[in-house]
Amino acid sequence: MTYAHDHHTSNRQPSFQGNRIGVLLFNLGGPETLDDVYPFLLNLFSDPEIFRVPRLLQPLIARIVARRRAPTSRSYYAQIGGGSPLRKITSDQASSLERILNAGESGKEYKVVVAMRYAPPRIEEALVALDGFKPDHLVFLPLYPQRSKTTTRSSFMEALEAISKGFPKLADLPRTVIPAYPVESNYIAALSGTIAEKIRDVPEDEPATILFSAHGIPEFMVTKEGDPYQKDTESTCQAAEAYLRREFPHRKLVFSLAYQSRVGPLKWLGPETKATIVSLAEKGTKNLILVPVSFVSDHQETLYEMDILYRDLASTLPLKRFLRAPALNTRQDFISGLQTLVTSALSGEKTSCQDCSCRCGGCP
């Protein structure tokens, strides 16, 4: 497979020896119940990083669009048990990470708190919890492995603003920011591990087609605004492909990348996952392994779109096997990868970006 961009940049952050470290773990959030769908959508469409409309009209347009989207969105969540499991999974990720961070280094105490962008626990709640811990250093750790203005920048901007407005003690602390980890070796090993499990479910003498599926974003954000998301997503897939080719040197593996979850009338990044599943099947693919990339947890995009919508579609196609790689969730190798990211960032080793505007602290 070829990818449009090839990159990876890094620079050094100052090393740090503090004792009480507060880690902010960022994610988007999701509605926990069907009643939470509208407020979630309202928050999402009120975010100028995600939804571009004239500033003064945004509150009004956000309400209209959220109201219009809510029934569709609710029907998806209704089919996965009436809500998103994202809050529970993210909270479990945070406690596992906190546990292994605290077990790892003597003399340091860590507190990991979740800050969701569009659903509770929102940033203020997270900062109140961190303030109470009285940290002497802050770490920003997104659960978005790939940078995007729609995710990384949006979460970081909100956090920086909330800190500077209402948390003077936190504002004065030194801060270590991990902007993303698209090709970080532990993350790639963990992601590849989820795929390897499914490759092993395909008989050794049969080829397996691995279809990475990432959440899309509107194409203009990449082509006109230089959003690094597509580049980072391709880098992740490329690194996982290389890992798996090393792991399975004698298997016939085919790799593709597509984008899912489009909403609204704009052109989004392509090719689209649904169309790609159809065209792969039409071209003779027998064993298809769908891989959530850009999502580190199960939620609507994996449990509804992949496991219901695309699985139903696959049942109408001449495929022999339609498999879905598990999300990383609280897999031990993923969480210990996050631990390494945090500890190496604190010791000054970590990558940071030089070519985006996510406000990560590393970008110009």
Ligand X SMILES: C=CC1=C(C)c2cc3[nH]c(cc4nc(cc5[nH]c(cc1n2)c(C)c5CCC(=O)O)C(CCC(=O)O)=C4C)c(C)c3C=C
**173 contact choice in ligand X, Fe ion, none (CB below 5 to 8 Å, kind-dependent):** none
Part in contact with Fe ion (CB under 5 A); list of ranges 10-18, 67-75, 126-134, 352-360: 352-360
**188 contact choice in Fe ion, ligand X, none (CB below 5 to 8 Å, kind-dependent):** none
Part in contact with ligand X (CB under 6 A); list of ranges 143-151, 282-290, 323-331, 355-363: 143-151
**235 contact choice in Fe ion, ligand X, none (CB below 5 to 8 Å, kind-dependent):** none
Among 13, 43, 73, 256, binds ligand X (CB under 6 A): 73
> Do residues 360 and 156 make contact, with C-beta atoms less than 8 angstroms apart?
yes
The answer for residues whose C-beta is within 8 angstroms of residue 313's C-beta and 6 or more apart is: 274, 277, 278
Instruction: Fill in the DSSP letter of residue 57.
Output: G
Q: Which is nearer to ligand X, 217 or 346 (CB)?
A: 217
Q: CA-based angle 188:192:198, to the nearest 5?
A: 165
Residue 215 counted as an annotated binding residue: yes
Q: Hey, what are 34's tokens?
A: 């069907």
* Alpha carbons 265 and 292: distance in angstroms, whole number: 24
> Restricting to residues 156-185, which ones interact with Fe ion according to CB under 5 A?
179
Contact between 335 and ligand X by CB under 6 A: the answer reads no
Contact between 135 and ligand X by CB under 6 A: the answer reads no
Q: How far is residue 353 CA from its own chain's centroid?
A: 17
> Do residues 339 and 300 make contact, with C-beta atoms less than 8 angstroms apart?
no
Pattern 169-208, binding to ligand X, x per CB under 6 A? ----------------------------------------
In the complex, what is the shortest distance from the CB of residue 28 to Fe ion, in angstroms, rounded to a whole number?
Answer: 7
Beta strand extents in the chain (DSSP E only)? 20-27, 109-116, 137-142, 175-177, 208-215, 253-260, 287-293, 321-324
> Restricting to residues 36-55, which ones interact with ligand X according to CB under 6 A?
41, 44, 50
**186 contact choice in ligand X, Fe ion, none (CB below 5 to 8 Å, kind-dependent):** none
Contact between 215 and ligand X by CB under 6 A: the answer reads yes
Among 21, 23, 25, 28, binds ligand X (CB under 6 A): 28
> Restricting to residues 147-166, which ones interact with ligand X according to CB under 6 A?
148, 150-151
The full DSSP string for 276-340 is HHHHHHHTT--EEEEEEES--S-SHIIIIIIIIIIHHHHHTTT-SEEEEPPP-TT-HHHHHHHHH
Residue 250 counted as an annotated binding residue: no
Contact between 358 and Fe ion by CB under 5 A: the answer reads yes
Contact between 216 and Fe ion by CB under 5 A: the answer reads no
The answer for residues whose C-beta is within 8 angstroms of residue 350's C-beta and 6 or more apart is: 10, 13, 176, 178, 341, 344
Among 84, 90, 213, 273, binds ligand X (CB under 6 A): 84
> Restricting to residues 256-315, which ones interact with ligand X according to CB under 6 A?
261, 263, 294, 299-301
* Alpha carbons 347 and 13: distance in angstroms, whole number: 8
> Do residues 113 and 24 make contact, with C-beta atoms less than 8 angstroms apart?
yes
Q: Hey, what are 68's tokens?
A: 């219009």
> Do residues 86 and 29 make contact, with C-beta atoms less than 8 angstroms apart?
yes
Part in contact with ligand X (CB under 6 A); list of ranges 193-201, 213-221, 244-252, 272-280: 213-221
Among 26, 38, 144, 156, binds ligand X (CB under 6 A): 144
In the complex, what is the shortest distance from the CB of residue 359 to ligand X, in angstroms, rounded to a whole number?
Answer: 16
In the complex, what is the shortest distance from the CB of residue 163 to Fe ion, in angstroms, rounded to a whole number?
Answer: 18
User: Which residues face 200 on adjacent strands?
Assistant: none
Binding-site entries for Fe(2+): 215, 301
Q: Which residues bind Fe ion (CB under 5 A)?
A: 179, 353, 356, 358, 360, 363
